[in-house]
Chains A and B, each alone.
Chain A
Amino acid sequence: MICCVRTPHPSLVAAWLTAPALRGRPLILGGLANERGSVTTASIEARTQGVGEGMSLNQAQQFVPDAVFQAVDEEATARVRQSLLSTLHHFTPDVAAGQDPGCAFLRLDRLALRWPDRSQLLVAISRAIDAAIRVRPTMGVASSMFVSKVAADHATAAAPVIVDQEQTRAYLARYPIDVLPLDDDLREYLVLLGLKTIGRLQAISRPAFRRQFGAKALEVYDLATGDDRRRLRRFRPAVRIEESEPLDPPVDNTEALQFIARALAERVSALLLAQGLGTRAIRIRLDQEAAPPIAIEVRFAYPMTTAGELFDGIRPRLLRATIAAPLERITLRAGRLEPGYVRQPGLLIRRDGFKESIADAVARLQEEYGPSLVQRAEVRSDAAPLPDHRILWKPA
């Protein structure tokens, strides 16, 4: 079963968190009233007076003269979105962000043992979200993403809607076709044919629907019968692995720098190991005393975890760095994180016959000295007997 969690637009939530006094008042986000622009979102108090998304700000002011107009705080909005998904991620890793802002999905199947009583689970989710972003969500539980979203849209914060799999068809039948993702032409056509509710749509057979509206419209038909084949795209919480060391007194020789970089590589490696991760890019930042900082990126062909491997990539880049002033601080940040199990050193042979360690060494050499340094040769026996024709040199 899939649970859809709906909260107001994250921009609204962010505005309420910044200024709690705005709750319960008509609030319109998108810009100030006198600005040229459109409404990004509006609180329910403003919506009830006729304001809608996409409307011009001037028009919105005419509808609700006493509304508060604000620009969208993008950073705060992103934080609210992350906070919502991270909160849900504490319950299960099967979490996905919905297409609509403020909408998220959880797969509940793996929570049956931990939470045998589903209503208690929903209460716990609601409380956790309230604690994180100070908003009580509406929730719908059903067998697919689409049906759970419809259920969440028609639920209240106090009473989630749960639709059993057997009742999906009957549940959807009562709603108008507007809940389906229809384009204007198809909606108009269905209305002309008198198909105004999903129940009427369900009464038509699938082959007949296909004959009338084409294969592309079958997706809509499947949704109307509760068959949603979209996959849950898992949300991955942001992980930041970074280690930094001030250099006091400032360092101006590479020997000392290497020594500290090695220690930092060990700390980064320990953090990666603790989370079972590997990194494919180490970003080095060298803060200079009276000069702009130096940024160096070291890339790896495979996700690396151990300190020795990380330092093997870092050392030659440090030696080649042009340092203009004494260094005050060195920072290593692991980027492009991937699960560590992706790499099986020595166990797997790649399709091109390389061992992983050799592939990584070749990639590192090519990055450092150019792709033509390490090559592979292929002989074309069918080509003309001239060296340039018969031998094909390719970067390894």
Chain B
Amino acid sequence: MVAYVDFPRRLDPEFLNHFGARLDHLLVVRPKSLKDGMASVRVLARAGVDFICIDLPRARCSGLDAELPHLLHRAAEAECTLLLIHDAEADDAIRYYASLILTFQRSAWVFRPDGDLEGLQVDATVIKNRLAPPGLKKRWIVPYPIP
């Protein structure tokens, strides 16, 4: 079971469905405040959700620094993996507590020979890794769904 905490309300289930995601195993949490969202994550992690993705609000979220240690403790206790998505540069607290930090950069549009849009070229870089040296770079194409 996977939970997606969608602060900015931008999750597109149809896009996930296109890549074969099993939506019946996905819980979407749409909290009104950071506090509600963090309480939901703690409760769900403790209840046995295996993977929780937190899509953080676009604006810098005050209070996250204080919430993160509790959150990590709960997640570690429950053997739950946390994935945080942030638009801008990560906060100090996130940079400190994260085991792995990846940055994604859109580098170009990709077109088919017939001129149709095929997808998006993305560059990923490992910024922090507690298990291996950082700095690895990869480039790949995220294909667009064909209607």
Contacts and interface: CB of A to CB of B under 8 A. Distances in A.
Interface of A: 312, 316, 346, 352-355, 357-358, 360-362, 364-365, 368-369, 372-379, 385, 387, 390-391, 393, 396
Interface string B11-46: 111100100000111111111100010011001101
Nearest to A358: B47
B30 A376 contact: no
B54 interface: no
Contacts of B31: 369, 373
A362 B1 contact: no
A385 B28 CA distance: 22
Given A358-B48, A374-B29, A353 B14 contact: no
Contacts of B29: 365, 373-375
B25 A353 contact: yes
Contact of A358 (B11, B23, B39, B49): B49
Contact of A379 (B11, B13, B28, B47): B13
B44 A358 contact: yes
Contacts of A385: 147
Q: How large is the interface on B (under 10, 10 to 19, 20 to 34, 35 or more residues)?
A: 20 to 34
Contact of B14 (A358, A364, A379): A379
A34 to B, nearest CB: 64
B24 A365 contact: no
A374 B14 contact: no
A377 B23 contact: yes
16 contacts: A358-B48, A358-B49, A360-B47, A361-B47, A362-B27, A365-B29, A365-B40, A369-B36, A373-B29, A373-B31, A375-B27, A375-B29, A376-B24, A377-B13, A379-B17, A390-B14
Contacts of A378: 13, 23
Nearest to B28: A375
Given A358-B49, A365-B40, A385-B147, A376 B14 contact: no
Contacts of B36: 369, 373
